Amino acid sequence: MAYRVSNVNIIRRNLYTKKEENFNLTEKIVKSIRDYLENPTKKGLWILKINLRKKEGITNFIQEIILQKLEENQKKHFNQEDLLNASERFTFLFRLFSYLYFLEKDENYNYGESNWDEEDKLILSWINIPELKEKYKDAFDYFKENIFFEDFNSLVSNKKLMRIKDGFFTFEEDNFYETGNEMGMNKIFLASTDLESLEKLKNFYEKVGKIYSPEIVPIFSPEEEVFRPYFKLLEPVYKTFIDNFNIQRLFSKSIDEYNDENNFSHCISTIGLITEDYLTQIFETLFRDICPKGLTLGSLYDLIHKKINQKFGGDKIEKPKINLVSNLLNQLTLKKDLVSIDEILKLNKEILDYIKADDKFIYKTLESFSNKQENLSIFPPILNSNINELIKKMI
């Protein structure tokens, strides 16, 4: 569907569903999201391909501390595997640097009151903060300048849009934590319509020694890859340009169904209901008539176009009438006097005019059967294509 967003400030306020979180995106970023939603294959995506060093860089620094503390606290029976795994996650990396930021603002900051995982809190309590800040000063400065912002959420998920300062990114579902090679690397794929967001993430991960041979590439195909983050980008913004409560409710339902891998068919059905609602509104607004009940989506779509072409399709093709020729011929037949040369010429002219009009009628009739592309539509080509694709999937 073609989406229209007029108020950039509204999108900035509502770009994430949780009221306490605010994207604060620039007008450029907002336009980038809107353009993607309107036509993903035309707008395309930027993909950051990362070879993740699981146990190197800052993770190695942290894990040495964990192993040392476990040795010192053997009697407390901490789960070594859980702690080491926690230290390798993107979430922990963001929480660690967020913690450094909070401590810089308030040296008495207590992360214990946060909803962070217990493993993360325990690891943070063991770290020598001054030593860490000195060792990774460049990374921390870069994090403060380019990643962190007031409503930054350190919880990394492959199910939603992730925010950074003046930007955003998503994880590609199927490639998240893709199995790496024997050298302890994982392949990670981050996506965004904003190139600068991915460049910031790449620079940060390089500064903490977590990635190897990163590459940022644009993709416009295959279609399934380009559409992968569509619902993640749609979910935070759809209420900003859809006022109808019922359609908002259906959009929310379709997103929930999409996120449930077992409900893709239900998601398509719900989107069909949304489309049907819109087509019904279009029918009744355009033709000032009650839309017939019980029509399938395909039948309603065809009916709209049939009525459009009937109403706005230009002059109708009318078969020429032979009445004038017949009348003249009858008059001359019934005439008692001799027929003049002028009367014969007039009859010949009417016959020739009729033959020309009849030829034109036949030609236009044949042309109307072959010229299907001239049928009128109120929808742009991309939307026509999308609706037809949806109709096929619902059959």
pLDDT digits (tens, 9 = 90+) for 59-81: 999 999 999 999 888 767 788 99
Amino acid symbol at 97: F
What is the pLDDT at residue 75? 64
Confidence band for 3, pLDDT divided at 50, 70 and 90 = very low
Rounded Cα gap, residues 158 and 265, in angstroms: 21
What is the pLDDT at residue 141? 97
**CB distance 170 to 190 below 8 Å:** yes
Rounded Cα gap, residues 93 and 103, in angstroms: 16
Confidence band for 55, pLDDT divided at 50, 70 and 90 = confident
The structure tokens listed for 118 are 């217990």
Residue 252 has pLDDT above 60, yes or no: yes
What is the pLDDT at residue 148? 95
User: Over the stretch 187-221, which tens digit does the pLDDT of each residue have?
Assistant: 889 999 999 999 999 999 999 998 888 999 999 98
Confidence band for 236, pLDDT divided at 50, 70 and 90 = confident
Paired sense of beta strands 162-164 and 167-171, if any: antiparallel
Which residues is 216 bridged to in the sheet?
A: 48
Residue 222 has pLDDT above 90, yes or no: no
Confidence band for 15, pLDDT divided at 50, 70 and 90 = very low
Residue (of 40, 38, 51) closest to 193 by Cα position: 40
**CB distance 29 to 167 below 8 Å:** yes
What is the pLDDT at residue 370? 60
Compute, in degrees rounded to 10, the torsion defined by CA atoms 7, 251, 296, 286: -20
- The residues spanned by each domain of the chain are 1-241, 242-313+376-394, 323-373
**CB distance 188 to 178 below 8 Å:** yes
The structure tokens listed for 113 are 């009151």
Mean pLDDT, range 344-351, rounded to an integer: 77
- 369 or 81, higher pLDDT: 81
Confidence band for 18, pLDDT divided at 50, 70 and 90 = very low
What is the pLDDT at residue 160? 84
User: Going edge to edge, which strands form the sheet with 45-53?
Assistant: 162-164, 167-171, 185-192, 45-53, 211-219
SS3 letters across the chain: CCCCCCCHHHHHHHCCCCCCCCCCCCHHHHHHHHHHHHCHHHHCEEEEEEEEECCCCHHHHHHHHHHHHHHHCHHHCCCHHHHHHHHCCHHHHHHHHHHHHHHHHCCCCCHHHCCCCHHHHHHHHHCCHHHHHHHCHHHHHHHHHHCCCCCCCCCCCCCCCEEECCEEEEECHHHCCECCCCCCEEEEEEEECCHHHHHHHHHHHHHCCCEEEEEEEEECCCHHHHCCCHHHHHCCCHHHHCCCHHHHHHHHHHHHHHHCHHHHHHHHHHHHHHHHHHHHHHHHHHHCCCCCCCCCHHHHHHHHHHHHHHHHCCCCCCCCCCHHHHHHHHHHHHCCCCCCHHHHHHHHHHHHHHHHHHHHHHHHHHHHHHCHHHCCCCCCHHHHHHHHHHHHHHC
pTM exceeding the 0.85 threshold for the entire prediction: no
What is the pLDDT at residue 316? 61
Rounded Cα gap, residues 101 and 111, in angstroms: 12
What is the pLDDT at residue 20? 34
> pLDDT exceeding 70 applies to what percent of the chain?
84
Rounded Cα gap, residues 95 and 334, in angstroms: 106
Confidence band for 185, pLDDT divided at 50, 70 and 90 = low
**CB distance 22 to 13 below 8 Å:** yes
Residue 177 has pLDDT above 80, yes or no: no
Rounded Cα gap, residues 147 and 198, in angstroms: 11
Average pLDDT, the chain: 82
User: Over the stretch 255-287, which tens digit does the pLDDT of each residue have?
Assistant: 888 887 667 888 999 999 999 999 999 999 999
What is the pLDDT at residue 219? 93
What is the pLDDT at residue 224? 84
